A and B are shown apart, each in its own frame.
Chain A
Amino acid sequence: EIVLTQSPGTLSLSPGERATLSCRATQSVSSSFLAWYQQRPGQAPRLLIYGESSRATGIPDRFSGSGSGTEFTLTINRLEPEDFAVYYCQQYGSSPFTFGPGTKVDIK
């Protein structure tokens, strides 16, 4: 099983700042089958990025994904108030599909 770790656990930033979130895998993720989700309190996760760097439909271009192998990054440029949430990475290239423990982005 591929275990994903995310860092930092919590990121305290101000609106307008850039957020850089890290996701590391214990094994190489097949074909960059890596996704990022945003989850606001009381809501279902929302797909942001898939295939390591492709934005999902309707996702603003301030969200970007990069990386390969075992190291992946989600960058959020110019944080908007609605971006303060928990972010999860997920690998879907190897069964069982696994999620990271999440990074909470909160308001400084």
Chain B
Amino acid sequence: HLQMQESGPGLVKPSETLSLTCTVSGGSISGSTYYWGWIRQPPGKGLEWIGNIYYGGSTFYNPSLKSRVTISADTSKNQFSLKFSSVTAADTAVYYCARQPWGKFSYCDYWGQGTLVTVSS
């Protein structure tokens, strides 16, 4: 049974870089059709897709966030990561990692539990 777990600092200062890691267990991120994505949800609000990555390194980002986002993968650790630069209070959200099973244009079938990141000085 696939499990995904986000980890990283819960508090980030404005203008700094938010860094999160998603550890996948019960399955490999190197599956041939899987993309691995990040989605966020500001407190009390809706969901926003950030981007995804294929284990070989191909990435696909939300154009509105692309200039500040980097997603990478480490197959040796079965992890993938999110870096979000120049954060502001508007980036305060619960960040979820998720699996997209059928390529970069795919729904999300497994989700991590989410981690709250607060941007504040």
In the bound complex, do residue B105 and residue A33 qualify as a contact, i.e. CB atoms below 8 Å apart? yes
What is the bound-complex CA distance between A95 and B65, given in angstroms? 12
Question: Interface size class for chain A?
Answer: 20 to 34
Question: Interface size class for chain B?
Answer: 10 to 19
- CB-nearest residue of chain A relative to B46? A101
What is the bound-complex CA distance between A57 and B1, given in angstroms? 12
Known: A33-B105, A44-B96, A44-B112. A95 touches B63 (CB 8 A): yes
The answer to whether B62 has its CB under 8 Å from any CB of chain A is yes
Q: Which A87-104 residues have C-beta < 8 A from chain B?
A: 88, 90, 92-93, 95-102
In the bound complex, do residue B48 and residue A99 qualify as a contact, i.e. CB atoms below 8 Å apart? yes
Chain B residues at the A interface, C-beta cutoff of 8 Å: 46-49, 60, 62-64, 96, 100, 105-109, 111-114
